[in-house]
Amino acid sequence: MNSILPPIATVRPHSLVFHGDERIDPYYWLRDDSRSNPEVLDYLTAENGYADAILQPTEELQKTLYQEMVDRQLPDDSSVPYYLKGYWYRSRYEPEKEYPLYERLAARPDAPTELLLDGNVRADGHDFYQLGALEVSPSNHWMACSEDFVSRRQYRISVRNLQNGRWHDDVIENTSGDIVWSADSSGFFYVRLDEETLLPYQVYYHVLGNEIAQDKLVYQEADNTYYLHISHSRSEDYLLIGLDSTMSTEVHLLPLKTPGASPQLFLARRRGHEYYLDHFRQHFYIRSNREGRNFALYQADDGAEQYWQTLLPAREEILLQDFVLFKNALYVEERVAGLTQLRQLDLQGQEVRMISVEDPAYVLWLGANPDPDNTEFRYGYASLTTPTTQYGLDIVTGERKMLKRQPVLGDFNLENYESQRLWITARDGVQVPVSLVYRKALYEPGKNPLLVYGYGAYGLSEEPYFASARLSLLDRGFVFAIAHIRGGEELGRHWYEQGRQLHKMNSFTDFIDVTKGILDAGYGDTRRVFAMGGSAGGLLMGAVANMSPELYLGMVAVVPFVDTLTTMLDESIPLTTGEYDEWGDPRESAVYQYIKSYSPYDQVKAQAYPHLLVVSGLHDSQVQYWEPAKWVAKLRATKTNDNLLLLSMDMDAGHGGKSGRYRYFLDVAQEYAFLISLAESSIKSTAA
């Protein structure tokens, strides 16, 4: 297809034996935990050079796409301010700046605006920057923030005196980013990561002015299948130490007025019981699946389950996702038939009102409501055709007002686009929901390029959200579809259970069947079908490419989890031990064989593959860079056609790609240019 030759990775057979089964990995040598091996870096650089050379004809298109995406952004955009403890807080962008400024304004006449943190200043000199948390002390005199400068989710905590503006010299390295202040503002709690696995497992308390070496260890989790996180209760009476695995949770409490106390267990973990805890007005509120897999809501005085009072029972068809407490109201976020809904209840669990939406595919969510005494409840709404919108609802009267709809500059008009909700029958008879969108004037049944997006893991629901960057595809005639496949939680907990562990294959077959169903319904050209997914969705791409390569013209796999079996056998790799309940523990023979049967790297075979753009980051701590690098090397040596196979390895970024408001669009523009150019060339070749 082209005269530019790709790099060919050296073959060095490496034997991997487990359960008496030997796998030969020819590219195992590409793993370098230090990310400093010259041979490995040279190979990755060569792959980048090859990808750049092949994509060179799309450079102008990439620039055009990037500029389109940038031009839709409001240059001086700002968030809706929220009130907390005497101050109004907001973030805002300055024109042409990549990162926001975080500010507050005292709620008094003529008060000056205080700059808490300028992300552009903090990011200066770094290839990557991400703010994790920004927490102001209860006294309003101190600020602690957590920042990632490498893109491995290892956050550095810094402290600033807001009375004189000075930053402390001492910083705390290798944290999860969580920060919770004590009630008297004398110090704060934080979480340390394991140096090797990056697992969050220790809670420390830091007293302002003390050496970091003197920080007190408050709690340490010994079970490496659990992730640890901290937060404060709605009442601000307690530090909540949360411990989560896929199938069970546990919470420990520590009174924030006595930070030197020892944490107390609320309710011990047990297999299969997940509960999520809050505290307000002398009561605990618990979202628990003890009486139904879709969760119920309880009120209690402590962890004695026999005395829990049911506010909202578990229901078979409705998933209780979240809740937030106010002085005189309780709001719940639920999911029904794949779509979210919000309801206002009183504190006894009786419904007051429903917040409804008429769009065929949309998402509603609980907004930023930090003050429980507020008389206004904030929530968010978006759809495939409607930009993110924030509303304020009067808790007493129910009167609603729009606080902000995210501006989309240019000639955008939501009336130009059509959204649809489909149900596709999978091969086992299950109905799979699909959300799709297209530009009305460009839609012709059976003739549009089709991009199907999927994820299907961890019980994470893929929401039909709005993305202004996506307009660049829709305005070129693409139909964009989200396949809400099993492994997510769109249809409730059972939807997740049917797409994990020994049912994981359902995620892949659902995606294939959905693609065919969309085409049968006339929403795409069978010659121009594309697929995209990232992380666990990248695993989806790899498995589908092995199983049904003929169905797709091209695929984009972003930070793909494709060396599934080898990674799940290696406890030294971040995330492995905490995910046995997601993928299964391959130390069990049956699980080993099942994972091997779909693991994309293990299942590469001599066949024709779609055009592939594989995107990754050298510093990725969730899916290590060598997984996609090895996968591309093996595909290149094995596949039987000359379709494009490109690896774009960002040498400065990690799992989330480039940081920054505008730089992020560079990645999107490259991916879209790849898809658009393939769609256009396909039409030309057909016409010829």
* 85-101 tens-digit pLDDT: 999 999 999 999 999 99
pLDDT of residue 2: 63
List, for residues 104-119, the tens digit of each pLDDT value.
999 988 899 999 999 9
CA–CA separation, 324 vs 173, rounded Å?
32
Q: What is the mean pLDDT of residues 239-259?
A: 96
pLDDT surpassing 50 at residue 50: yes
> CB under 8 Å to 444, separation ≥6 — which residues?
none
Report residue 573's pLDDT band, with 50, 70 and 90 as the boundaries.
confident
pLDDT of residue 686: 58
Q: Which amino acid is present at 498? A: Q
Domain edges within the chain: 44-70+422-687, 79-118, 126-268
**DSSP string over 155-180:** EEEEEEETTT-PBPS--EEEEEEEEE
pLDDT of residue 197: 87
Q: What is the DSSP letter of 262?
A: P
Output the pTM of the full model: 0.94
> CB under 8 Å to 308, separation ≥6 — which residues?
286, 288, 298, 299, 300
| Fold (topology level) of 126-268 | Methylamine Dehydrogenase; Chain H (2.130.10)
Nearest to 230 by CA among 268, 261, 198, 204: 204
Beta strands in 440-572 (DSSP E): 450-453, 479-483, 529-534, 554-558
Beta strands in 54-110 (DSSP E): 82-84, 87-92, 101-106
- The residue annotated as part of the active site, out of 245, 655, 659, 677, is 655
Can you tell me which residue has the tokens 């972003």?
558
| Residues forming beta bridges with residue 250, ordered by sequence position | 243
pLDDT of residue 684: 65
Concerning whether 650 is annotated as a catalytic residue, the answer is no
Report residue 393's pLDDT band, with 50, 70 and 90 as the boundaries.
very high
Q: What percent of the chain has pLDDT over 70?
A: 99
List, for residues 471-523, the tens digit of each pLDDT value.
999 999 999 999 999 999 999 999 999 999 999 999 999 999 999 999 999 99
Report residue 574's pLDDT band, with 50, 70 and 90 as the boundaries.
confident
pLDDT of residue 683: 66
Output the average pLDDT for the chain.
95
pLDDT surpassing 70 at residue 590: yes
pLDDT surpassing 60 at residue 196: yes
* Superfamily name with CATH number, domain 44-70+422-687: Alpha/Beta hydrolase fold, catalytic domain (3.40.50.1820)
pLDDT of residue 1: 47
Report residue 622's pLDDT band, with 50, 70 and 90 as the boundaries.
confident
Report residue 571's pLDDT band, with 50, 70 and 90 as the boundaries.
confident
Concerning whether 231 is annotated as a catalytic residue, the answer is no
CA–CA separation, 379 vs 337, rounded Å?
20
Query: Count of alpha carbons within 13 Å of 93, Cβ hemisphere only?
Result: 13
pLDDT of residue 659: 85
Token pair of 526 as six digits: 């069978």
Q: What is the mean pLDDT of residues 455-466?
A: 96
CA–CA separation, 90 vs 101, rounded Å?
8
> Where is 252: in which H helix or E strand?
strand 249-255
pLDDT of residue 577: 80
- The residue annotated as part of the active site, out of 525, 620, 650, 667, is 620
pLDDT surpassing 50 at residue 43: yes
pLDDT of residue 344: 97
Concerning whether 494 is annotated as a catalytic residue, the answer is no
